[in-house]
Amino acid sequence: MAFDKMELKDIEVWDGNYAAAQAMRQCQIDVVAAYPITPSTPIVEGYGNFKANNYVEGEFVMVESEHAAMSGCIGAAAAGGRVATATSSQGFALMVETLYQASGMRLPIVLNVVNRALAAPLNVNGDHADMYLGRDSGWIQLDAYCPQDAYDLNFIAFKVSEDHDVRLPCMVHQDGFMTSHTAQGVHTLSDDVAYGFVGDFQPMNDMLDFEHPVTHGVQTEEDWHFEHKARQHNDLMTKVFPKIQAAFDDFEKLSGRKYNLVESYDMDDADVAVVCMGTSVETAREVASEMREKGVKAGVVGLRVIRPFPFFEIAEALKGAKAIATLDRSSPGGAPGMLFNEIAGCLFNTDDRALLSGFIYGLGGRDLTKKHLVEIFTQLQANVDAGKVTTSLQQFIGVRGPKLQFL
């Protein structure tokens, strides 16, 4: 069955959702099983529109829940097709059981996660609660900071996830509303160039190969489970980074746009640095350069790959920084915060042992303003000057009421 190609301008003004939907269209997916939820709805809505207008050849399966959406993706991936879907927040939470099935079965599925807060209280806006919920699920997690990234990282995701040495599902995260509903200029690839980059789907252990019948989704008890999980972790730790790096390199040659496992900005001589994810990375970059005009040697480190966690690359990026702030956009649930803990782990055995403090911000879409970031950088400089952390290790910013700080 023939399908139509779409003519795109070199720069289209797209929001993150539409950028992701366009990338999905260009990858020529075999099966999308989806159950739309705010703020990721326009991804599958846009994709469904492409399907209805003959820009997509594959199947679009409407299901009754996110659990069924991911289950459908798992079945289609095991059958041997290129598969993707999208979700957010409560839908992601309902998907969690099946996320572990997908990664354990080593099925290459691309999941666009438009990050949104988790209820209660119910909230449709962007924070990283759902992203954090997925971080032990055995998936690869890539993080977009803007609509351009959301477009580009979808191609990277298919390429890495489907590689026969990897065969692990991959999430592409973007911030709900701040990226998903914010229109910006997106440099496009033509349909042929984009598809050429991801290439034809190469099946592996597919159930539709009748000459080599396989059983997927087997049960293992105490005698085998550990070995399978160990194998999966080994492959996440050793095989994924080189493939992502290779995909980033190829993509740069193709598009001129360079991505890194860890994104560092102004870090060469930085005294103070913030580590964060999503749109905050870009806002922090802007504030860091403004701080430099005021004489504060500020830098920013952004996680491009959240899982597998680039442990040594982050330590390297932060080398030389004297005071570091981690910015966690998720309610820490009685702990210091994911980024604080993980960055502390990276730095603990280094010689620098920088002064580390953590911030909880932006829950339920609360604005992270440039003013907040100026305050954080100023505080970090004060820590450098004092030679110690002068505040509590965990502070809430942008929340009303008496100052909230712990540890």
Which residues make up the interface to other proteins (CB under 8 A)?
11, 13, 15, 39, 104-107, 124-125, 146, 167, 175, 177-179, 181-185, 205, 211-218, 220, 223-224, 226-228, 230-232, 234-235, 279-280, 282-283, 285-286, 367-371
Identity of the residue, 276 or 354, whose beta carbon is nearer to other proteins in the bound complex: 276
Single-letter amino acid code for the residue at 174: Q
CA dist 352 and 349 (Å) reads 9
Nearer CB in complex with other proteins: 39/75: 39
Nearest partner of 276 among 366, 195, 339, judged by Cα? 339
* Smallest distance, other proteins to C-beta of residue 377, A: 15
d(CA 67, CA 94): 6
Pick 30 or 235: Cβ nearer other proteins: 235
CA-based nearest residue to 24, from 118, 158, 182: 158
Starting at the earlier edge strand, list the strands of the sheet with 140-143: 59-62, 31-34, 83-87, 109-115, 170-175, 140-143, 305-307
State in angstroms the smallest separation of the CB of 265 from other proteins. Answer: 10
User: Closest approach of Cβ 348 to other proteins, in Å?
Assistant: 28
The residue behind tokens 């492959």 is 235
**Nearer to other proteins among residue 258 and residue 370 (C-beta):** 370
CB of 333 to other proteins, least distance (A): 25
Find the shortest distance in angstroms from Cβ 302 to other proteins: 12
Shortest distance (Å) from residue 208 CB to other proteins: 14
Residue 190 is encoded by which pair of tokens? 């033509």
Look up residue 364 and give its DSSP letter. Answer: G
- CB 332 to other proteins: min, Å: 22
Backbone angles phi, psi at 396, to 5 degrees: -95, 135
Q: What is the DSSP letter of 365?
A: G
Report d(CA 178, CA 59) in Å as an integer. Answer: 30
| CB nearer other proteins, residue 224 or residue 348 | 224
Nearest to 167 by CA among 135, 206, 132, 136: 206
**Whether 361 contacts 368, CB under 8 Å:** yes
Q: Which is nearer to other proteins, 227 or 249 (CB)?
A: 227
Q: Which is nearer to other proteins, 213 or 333 (CB)?
A: 213
Cβ–Cβ under 8 Å, residues 100 and 138: yes
